[in-house]
Amino acid sequence: MLADEVLEAVSVESRWRSSQRPTQETKASQTAAVHTAEAELQARSTTATGSQTEPQNQISEQCLLNHEDLDPEGLKNFLQQVEDTVIRQLVRNSRSHAFDGFQVNWKDPSNLVSCHHSLQHPGGVERDLHVTKVSWSCTGAVLACAYGRMDDGDWSTEPSHVCTWNLFSRKLKPKQADVVIDVPTAVTALCCHPRQASVIAGGLYSGRVVVWDTSQTDDPVLAQTGISADSHREPVCEVVWVPLQKKAAFGVLSACSGGKVLLWVLDAAQHVLVLNAAYALESQQIPQCRGLKARGCSSVGITSLALSPWDPDTFLVGSEGGLLLRCSFSSKIPSTAPSDGHSLTHRAPAVFSFRPGSGPVHSIHSSPFHWNLFVSAGTDGLAHLHSLLQSEPLFSLKVSDSYVFQVQWSPSRPLVFAAATSQGEVQVFDLGHRSLRPVATLEQGGGGGAATCLAFNAHNPQLLAVGRTDGTVGVWHLSTELTEQSPQEISQLEQIANQVAG
């Protein structure tokens, strides 16, 4: 039979919960102790030294004592015997002139001339224009050249150029000018300003005289002559800057084949050149000299002009007929040339005639080292050395078998001058040499045409610029033999000037 029974409770502990509890342990560690130490060190060391030479007299005495035993036997007697003979010979040598002017050349021999640059303007070369004139700036850094024609006898309206190169610029491009000024007609004369590096005066085939300022890029024309009775009507053959009475002022002196020499003053405000003085050369007013035939009433065709660096009143003129004249700015004699409405009275400037040549005088240049000497050259192929004190030339040198277009003295060597020839050569002469042959010849390789013009660099005498009919300008470097003055050179030039023409 069934009955209720009370039993004791039974509990079963869960093992799952205890297995899921994380096991934890506690541990500890420690590094070994770090030991530190401090130490100091300092060193000190000094040294004192000294030296002293013995007195000079003690050294000399010691040397004499040391060399007494080295004296060869009989040397003292020999020197005493020849002493009088040696002294007599030394005195004779001191009075001898056998080696006067001789200089020992301690340098290695080098070429006298070398071409450093060949400059050209592509526009001028492509149109076969000639380089008619070259001129250096007053700083000696910039070279200006004029383009035109030497073989065109008719009035020309062909445009041309005036170009400049800065030879000391890192950006120099021989075939690209730094400044190119377009001119409506051929440029026949060119001269850089003596004080302002950017100002250039030029003469044109049309008879106009122009002053340019290369710093003005928009319109470089600073001033020019107008079309009037006072202006030139023939091609301008020469322009030069002339110092005026006003301090630091310069005028432009121009000459043309029509026989006129005109002095212009710059009016920068009005952009014009104002006539300041006028001179006209007429054949009947030319002073007579031996070999000069009297001619009728006609103008003297001027081909060259030069100033005197010694006398501000004197200028020299060469003509188509070979006349060579000394003229004066202060002349008061009225010219017999027709007035033709001139604003100023033209004066006759000629005061002295030199013996005429056999053809046109293309170039004249006064010596920068002697007040009486000048050199001229022309179609006879000769270079004539003249003195202002006599009509006959002192002597003549053969330069070429053809024309000589320009001649110029060196600015650093009193006895040296150079001449440009139609055969393409530039001959350099040294009057200090016994031979009358050129000491150096500048030749352009590849047939560069006639050498039409040249210009020494007054600030860098070792540079010589030469213009040619092929449109190129060669810049030549001259050696020290052609640029450095010797001690006796001035006295030699004085002797030449004092000689009388035979």
Domains and CATH numbers, the chain: 116-414 (2.130.10.10)
**pLDDT over 90 at 74, yes or no:** no
Beta-bridge partners for 489: none
pLDDT at residue number 110: 47
17 versus 485: the higher-pLDDT residue is: 485
CA proximity to 100, closest of 489, 496, 431: 489
Confidence of residue 106 (pLDDT cuts 50, 70, 90): very low
The stretch 37-63 carries a mean pLDDT of 64
pLDDT in tens, 107-144: 444 468 899 999 999 999 999 999 999 999 999 999 99
Report pLDDT digits (tens) over 318-352: 999 999 999 999 999 999 887 777 888 999 999 99
pTM of the model: 0.76
Confidence of residue 18 (pLDDT cuts 50, 70, 90): low
- pLDDT > 90? residue 386: yes
What tens digit of pLDDT does each residue of 356-372 get? 988 999 999 999 999 99
- Closest-CA residue to 324 (of 367, 369, 281, 371): 281
Spatial CA neighbour of 273 closest among 354, 212, 334, 188 = 212
Residue 189: the pLDDT is 96
Residues 166 and 143: their CA atoms lie apart, in Å, by: 7
Residue 55, pLDDT > 70, answer no
For residue 310, the 8-state DSSP code is S
The two structure tokens encoding residue 70? 């080295």
pLDDT over 70 at 71, yes or no: no
Query: Minimal CA–CA distance to 140: which of 99, 168, 117?
Result: 168
Whole-number Å distance between alpha carbons of 191 and 273: 16
Check pLDDT > 80 for residue 30. Answer: no
pLDDT reading at 501 higher than 60 = no
Of residues 448 and 390, which shows the higher confidence score? 390
Nearest to 130 by CA among 466, 364, 363: 466
Cα–Cα distance list, 172 to 135, 168, 176 (Å) = 18, 7, 8
pLDDT at 436: 82
pLDDT above 80 for 99: no
- DSSP assignment of 84-146: HHHHHHHHHHHH--TTTT-----SPP--SEEEEEEEE-HHHHHTT-EEEEEEE-TTSSEEEEE
- pLDDT tens for 237-281 read 999 999 998 777 899 999 999 999 999 999 878 889 999 999 999
Beta-carbon count within 10 A of 150 CB:
17
pLDDT bucket at 411, cuts 50 / 70 / 90: very high
